Chain A
């Protein structure tokens, strides 16, 4: 029983993390049909930005809550700037090329940005555990839950609700749905598709950076953190169905719970259970769980 509860809470926390990193990826894919490998860089830059922010506010002796906000704001600002520069400066040039070619463009950018991190922050690693310690922990029965983990789950849930609301009930959300459904027709009806693309990409980039920022206190911010997160986010998005927000949520929950179960029950399979689940889901539902059937074009 205790194990089951531990699996549930660990799984939920891990799912929250996965959802935060996957939602930006799936949003960009859904609207722009770009599988954005640079998402790993957004995550890494967010984490490094957050670590810098933590350093600043710890030195200035600011209260923890303000520091947490500063950390998230700085990371998202980095994400917004990177998103604008990348979309306007580079991706614009390859729209209309093969989907796979665009993936490679983002892969090349990812490689470049990996070294930019070294140039800006150096090869050393950063610790940003202060917010996590400041948040404290609570005891639930025999288990100790970190309040920071609870905040993480709350942020993920908040993002899910926000995304649902924004897509259903805001003007931009409706426009986005139109562009997702048929880009050309939307353009013919006067929707500024170029602007929608830019805004989507910037939001996706900011979400990626936010993922890095909220995870920074839980991990050691070091080189190569983007490499791992990108394949994890891919797996989640592929399970849920690329471009589907509810798919990302379900995918994150499935992967989170499966991984937590593996960690507690059979630790040997921890590393590949995620990809095993992904392969299994894709065997049954080739295009993920939540994907609209595509018409065959002759």
Chain B
């Protein structure tokens, strides 16, 4: 079997196990996992960018647009269908990312990070000053339905969890395919030396524009799913600390593989709720320490740990 086929098989099995295990798990675990897997999409988008060496400190922009698109469509148009809402959230953020991409694709390194930060802070400022949208308090989203099926409480949590997993699976397959495409495989050469890639007759700006758009779409889907799961949106979704959290998970997970984004996001949510539960006044310190230790001792993220163990295993078997 080919490598790609094996990866798909293992990934598919993991998703099936994650989906099948949900009814047996307590409610809070399911809702934590829903948020984690929704955020994993945003992280997947950051991984796409990180492969060319770009870090966006403003990914919360697309996250927030996805969330507010869902919330506003539900509120103004009375749409309650979760599938439609999530799709609209992804498309909304994708359109914004495509437009913003014309500007962002010209920037590199710190400047890329700073400009995306500025853009997300503009959205934050607008939302905070918009009284009709609840200003800093935000507003709640009415309970979603699934093609006419209107679950309550526990069933609602499970339905949203499965919806998130389904979107994740589609996202993972598509991003995996993108990584194997020509445009996707040019990421490492661009990171090493952009001008040489240009000399090959490829427009680096256009490739980066595509990546910004992909990351934006993923961010929008993540925000839309998170908004439905939380049932509430507020401007903090666009604040720079939200973006910082996503970058944190990206570094924790590493850009090695698609799967790392999901494992990393789950690990991060678990770590955050654990730290918040056990040491409520020290949870930022815990997060900061974990980030520091990861950077110092696991430069390629948790994903590299698996690869390292595999290599050691191969070395031991003659």
| A contact residues vs B (CB 8 Å cutoff) | 35, 90, 93-94, 97-101, 103-105, 107-112, 114-116, 118-119, 123, 227, 231, 234-235, 238, 242, 268-273, 275-276, 278-279, 282-283, 286-287, 296-298
Contacts A107-B244, A268-B129: A238 and B284 contacting too (C-beta < 8 A)? no
What is the CA–CA distance of A238 and B53 in the complex, to the nearest angstrom? 20
Q: Which of B107, B121, B240, B244 contacts A286 (CB 8 A)?
A: B107
Q: Which of A35, A110, A270, A279 contacts B118 (CB 8 A)?
A: A279
| Residue from B106, B121, B126 having most chain A Cβ neighbours under 10 A | B121
B125 to chain A, nearest CB (A): 3
A283 touches B103 (CB 8 A): yes
Chain A residues with Cβ below 8 Å from B284 are: 111-112, 114-115
Task: Give the contacts of B105-127 with A (CB-CB under 8 A).
Answer: 106-107, 109-111, 113-115, 117-119, 121-126
Number of interface residues of B (CB under 8 A): 44
B124 touches A115 (CB 8 A): no
Chain B residues with Cβ below 8 Å from A278 are: 118
Q: Which of A90, A103, A242, A271 contacts B124 (CB 8 A)?
A: A271
What is the CA–CA distance of A265 and B282 in the complex, to the nearest angstrom? 42
B118 touches A115 (CB 8 A): no
A115 touches B125 (CB 8 A): no
Chain B residues with Cβ below 8 Å from A242 are: 110
Q: Which of B123, B196, B285 contacts A298 (CB 8 A)?
A: B196
Is B36 located at the chain interface by the 8 A CB criterion? no
A36 to chain B, nearest CB (A): 11
List 29 A-B pairs, Cβ < 8 Å. Answer: A90-B292, A93-B296, A94-B296, A97-B295, A100-B53, A100-B55, A100-B110, A101-B251, A101-B295, A103-B113, A104-B291, A104-B295, A105-B292, A107-B291, A108-B288, A108-B291, A111-B285, A112-B292, A114-B288, A115-B288, A119-B281, A235-B118, A238-B115, A268-B129, A271-B125, A273-B125, A275-B122, A276-B122, A286-B111
A183 to chain B, nearest CB (A): 17
Nearest to A281 among chain B residues (CB) is: B118
A250 to chain B, nearest CB (A): 17
What is the CA–CA distance of A243 and B117 in the complex, to the nearest angstrom? 19
Chain A residues with Cβ below 8 Å from B103 are: 283
Contacts A104-B291, A123-B281, A275-B122: A231 and B296 contacting too (C-beta < 8 A)? no
Chain A residues with Cβ below 8 Å from B111 are: 238, 282, 286-287
Is B195 located at the chain interface by the 8 A CB criterion? yes
A271 to chain B, nearest CB (A): 3
Chain A residues with Cβ below 8 Å from B282 are: 115, 118-119
What is the CA–CA distance of A268 and B123 in the complex, to the nearest angstrom? 13
Closest 6 CB pairs of A and B: A272-B125, A111-B288, A271-B125, A112-B288, A115-B285, A108-B291
A231 touches B121 (CB 8 A): yes
Please, what's the 1-or-0 string for B225-266, where 1 marks a CB less than 8 Å from any CB in chain A? Answer: 000000000000000110010011001000000000000000
A212 to chain B, nearest CB (A): 19
Nearest to A268 among chain B residues (CB) is: B129
A291 to chain B, nearest CB (A): 10
Chain A residues with Cβ below 8 Å from B281 are: 115, 118-119, 123
Chain B residues with Cβ below 8 Å from A123 are: 281
B244 touches A269 (CB 8 A): no
Q: Which of A93, A108, A235, A297 contacts B289 (CB 8 A)?
A: A108
A271 touches B129 (CB 8 A): yes
Nearest to B290 among chain A residues (CB) is: A108
A282 touches B285 (CB 8 A): no
A206 to chain B, nearest CB (A): 23
Is B128 located at the chain interface by the 8 A CB criterion? yes
Contacts A116-B285, A271-B129: A105 and B113 contacting too (C-beta < 8 A)? no
A284 to chain B, nearest CB (A): 11
